[in-house]
Amino acid sequence: MVKITFIDAAGQSRIVEAEEGSTVMEAAIRNDVSGIEAECGGACACATCHVYVDDSWLEKLPKAESMEEDMLDFAYDVRPASRLSCQIRVTAEIDGLVLHTPEQQG
Amino acid sequence: MTEIIKTDALIVGAGPVGLFAVFELGLLDIKAHVLDILPKIGGQCSELYPEKPIYDIPGFPTITGQGLVDNLMKQIEPFHPTFHFNEQVEQLESIGTPAAPLFRVRTNGDLTFEAKTVIIAAGGGSFQPKKPPVPGIEAYENISVFYAVRKMESFRGKRVLIVGGGDSALDWSLNLAPIAERVILMHRRDEFRAAPHSVNAMRELVAAGKMDLTLGQMTGLKGEGGELSAVTVKANDGSIYDFECNRMMPFFGLTMKLGPIADWGLNLHENLVPVDTEKFETNVPGVFAIGDINTYPGKLKLILSGFHEAALAAQKANRYVFPDKKVVFQYTTSSSSLQKKLGVG
């Protein structure tokens, strides 16, 4: 299992275990992580699983593809560290990933 | 008084499950009108994932959202349903009795239906424009902030800020540029999802000095009495400034909201409509709920479950629409009368 830390807008942090091959969004939904809605169920069609990647991980994650960038247009307060968690694949390489959830998913 | 449209069944929602309900009702000679808030058929399949393959439709190892919708349209063609698009049901009033239900249904577009049964196949609710979470935006809505253009003329001579990077944002920038005092398109990045020819046309207008393009994100609104005077913008370099404008249109896509269903006198449980699993009927006799909008013990939000629910709801609807008809269950493989209805007999 891969460990992922979610820190909400108020600074509360939670560590969840994610299965390799799933997505970070799925791990968040399975563990009721607050601040992740995932309205469309992972189709990269809603931008309600928006997260900010912690500075320490920015360089280590594969970059967003253009479909994800397009969908991020629908998110709010998009920053250079913004990602859609349904598009981050859980692999052994991301064990220890730290993500921040936004105040609002819109 | 507008004309009342009388129908056996009114289906609310033109997604896959609403479309298949037309088929199941049609086999029983029940005529249906179908309405949807979107300007097209298909619901989530067409709006959210037209190109994505679905792998759990029985008999189709893989089919795209749009492919499924196209096939369903072909399948229900013999029954000639009447579609009403861009319509949202606002009011559902029972004017019959539990044994002989009749409903008067009014939409936001001033349509009035009289239906013997109502089948709610509204999925996740109605698709509505996503509102930017800018504090106090409600006070400006429909006065100086608009999510859609009803009358282009109302933008004449205005300073219009359009926010977004998709087709709606680009199309309205191009359409309003000749009418408005000034159109300013704001987007978070210098890349656009919209059709390339619209993007090119926009860049030409900007180059010719006929409209402006600015990169950044909206963080606040300023104005009085609903009249906008400026939008606070966070530019991509982190600087924050006020941008003068008196009309603003945000285009951040669509989201699903339950909408007026909450006011129809139906029992609700966590924004879903509880039904029984024999008839998929709500607490109001004659009103059915099928597909993602309903809930019951063991409910799975699968298209295939919605199809099954449509078939059973149609059986009960049959008894309301034709109370005196003898019910004989028939198979499409063998029944000549069903095959005649399907145009294959």
Whether residues A73 and B165 touch (CB distance < 8 A) is answered with: yes
Closest CA to A75 of A100, A98, A99, A104: A104
| Interface mutation vs chain A, best among B130, B192, B240, most A CBs within 10 Å | B130
The one-letter code for the residue type at B305 is S
What is the distance between the alpha carbons of residues B163 and B185, in angstroms, rounded to a whole number?
6
A65 and B CB contact within 8 Å: no
Overall residue count recorded for chain B in this entry:
345
Kindly indicate the confidence band of residue A106, based on its pLDDT and cuts at 50, 70 and 90.
low
| pLDDT tens-place values along chain B, 345 residues long | 579 999 999 999 999 999 999 999 999 999 999 999 999 999 999 888 888 889 999 999 999 999 999 999 999 999 999 999 999 999 999 999 988 999 999 999 999 999 999 999 999 898 888 888 788 999 999 999 999 887 889 999 999 999 999 988 999 999 999 999 999 999 999 999 999 999 999 999 999 999 999 999 999 999 999 999 999 999 988 899 999 999 999 998 888 888 899 999 999 998 899 999 999 999 999 999 999 999 999 999 999 999 999 999 999 999 999 999 888 889 999 999 999 999 987
Please give the structure tokens belonging to residue B47: 């709006």
The closest CB to that of B48, out of A40, A69, A73, belongs to A40
Give B131-252's CATH code, choosing from 3.50.50.60, 3.20.20.80, 3.40.30.10, 3.100.10.20: 3.50.50.60
What is the distance between the alpha carbons of residues B27 and B314, in angstroms, rounded to a whole number?
9
Residue B316 DSSP SS3: helix
Is it the case that residue A11 has pLDDT exceeding 80? yes
CATH number at residue A89: 3.10.20.30
What does the domain layout of chain B look like in residue ranges?
4-127+255-341, 131-252
Instruction: Quote the CATH superfamily of domain B4-127+255-341.
Output: FAD/NAD(P)-binding domain (3.50.50.60)
Whether residues A43 and B49 touch (CB distance < 8 A) is answered with: yes
Whether residues B193 and A45 touch (CB distance < 8 A) is answered with: no
In a domain, A105, yes or no: no
Chain A residues close to B129, C-beta within 8 Å? none
The closest CB to that of A77, out of B166, B217, B256, belongs to B217
Q: Does this chain's domain B4-127+255-341 share its CATH topology with B131-252?
A: yes
Min distance A57 CA to chain B CA atoms (Å): 21
User: Tens of pLDDT along A26-80?
Assistant: 999 999 998 888 877 777 777 889 999 999 999 999 889 988 998 898 888 899 9
A96 and B CB contact within 8 Å: no
User: Tens of pLDDT along A88-105?
Assistant: 999 999 999 999 999 887
In a domain, A41, yes or no: yes
Whether residues B252 and A106 touch (CB distance < 8 A) is answered with: yes
The one-letter code for the residue type at B199 is V
User: E-assigned strands of chain A?
Assistant: 2-7, 13-18, 50-53, 82-84, 97-100
User: What does DSSP say about strands B159-163 and B182-187: parallel, antiparallel, or unpaired?
Assistant: parallel
In a domain, A106, yes or no: no
The whole domain housing A73 covers 2-100
Is it the case that residue A82 has pLDDT exceeding 60? yes
pLDDT of residue B182: 97
Chain B residues close to A76, C-beta within 8 Å? 132-133, 217, 252
Min distance B199 CA to chain A CA atoms (Å): 14
Domain count, chain A: 1
Please give the structure tokens belonging to residue B177: 């540029």
